[in-house]
Amino acid sequence: MVVDSDLTTQFLYEALSRGKREWELTFDAVPDLIFITDTHHTITRANRAMAERLGLRPTEVPGRKCYELFHEIGTVPGTCPFMKLLQDGEAPHVEMEEKHLGGFFEISVSPLYNEFGEITACVHVARDVTERKKAEEYRLSLEQQLQQTQRLESLGVLSGGIAHDFNNILTIILGHCALARLAGPTEVRRHLDQIELAGNRAADLCRQMLNYAGKSPLVRTEVDLNAQVREVVSMLQPAFKKKISFRYLIEPGAPLIKGDQGQVQQIIMNLVVNAVEAIGDRKGTVGIALTPHEISPETSCRDAFGNTIAPGSYVCLEVSDDGCGMSEETRQRLFEPFFTTKFTGRGLGMSATMGIIRSHNGALQLSSTLGEGSTFKIFFPTCPAATPRSGAVPVSPSPLRSGERLTGTVLLVDDEPELRQVGTVLLSGLGLNVITACNGREALEVYRERSREIDLVLMDLTMPEMDGVEAYQELRRQAPSLPVLFCSGYGKKEVSPFIDSDRHAAFLPKPYNRDQMHTMLRKLREGAGYHP
Closest CA to 318 of 374, 240, 264: 374
- Phi/psi of residue 485, each to 5°? -115, 115
**pLDDT value, residue 214:** 54
Q: Is the dihedral of CA 480, 482, 488, 491 positive or negative?
A: positive
For 202, residues 6+ apart whose C-beta sits below 8 A from its C-beta are 166, 169
Q: Does the pLDDT of residue 415 top 90, yes or no?
A: no
Give me the domain span that covers residue 428: 409-527
Residue ending a domain, among 63, 94, 128, is: 128
**pLDDT value, residue 446:** 93
Q: Does the pLDDT of residue 90 top 80, yes or no?
A: no
- Rounded-to-integer distance, Cα 525 and Cα 481, Å: 11
Contact 436, 420 (CB under 8 A): yes
Residue ending a domain, among 88, 106, 128, is: 128
Give 341's DSSP letter.
Answer: S
Both 450 and 504 in one domain: the answer is: yes
Q: Does the pLDDT of residue 146 top 90, yes or no?
A: no
Both 207 and 284 in one domain: the answer is: yes
Query: Within 213-260, where are the H helices?
Result: 225-236
Residue ending a domain, among 97, 128, 159, is: 128
CA 203 from chain center: how many Å?
Answer: 23
- CATH number for the domain including 73? 3.30.450.20
Which region among 39-43, 112-116, 161-165, 290-294 has the lowest average model confidence (pLDDT)?
161-165
Q: Does the pLDDT of residue 272 top 70, yes or no?
A: yes
Higher pLDDT, 353 or 63: 63
Q: Write down the mean pLDDT value for the chain.
A: 78
- Rounded-to-integer distance, Cα 49 and Cα 380, Å: 49
Higher pLDDT, 347 or 35: 35
Q: 278-282, 410-414, 491-495 — which one is most confidently predicted on average?
A: 410-414
Both 318 and 426 in one domain: the answer is: no
- Rounded-to-integer distance, Cα 445 and Cα 395, Å: 39
* Residue 399, in any domain of the structure: no
Both 142 and 124 in one domain: the answer is: no
Both 245 and 313 in one domain: the answer is: yes
Q: For residue 371, list its beta bridge partners.
A: none
Task: Report the largest interatomic distance among the alpha carbons of the chain, rounded to a whole angstrom.
Answer: 132
* DSSP sequence for 138-199: HHHHHHHHHHHHHHHHHHHHHHHHHHHHHHHHHHHHHHHHHHHHHS-HHHHHHHHHHHHHHH
Give the number of domains in the chain: 3
Angle (CA) 235 416 214, round 5°: 35
Q: Is the dihedral of CA 488, 494, 499, 501 positive or negative?
A: positive
* Residue 46, in any domain of the structure: yes
Q: Does the pLDDT of residue 373 top 60, yes or no?
A: yes
Both 99 and 158 in one domain: the answer is: no
Task: pLDDT band for 13, please (50, 70, 90 cuts).
Answer: low
Higher pLDDT, 527 or 114: 114
Both 101 and 147 in one domain: the answer is: no
**pLDDT value, residue 364:** 93
Peptide bond into 511 cis (omega under 30): yes
- CATH number for the domain including 371? 3.30.565.10
**pLDDT value, residue 345:** 33
- CATH number for the domain including 494? 3.40.50.2300
* Residue 257, in any domain of the structure: yes
pLDDT-above-90 percentage for the chain: 15
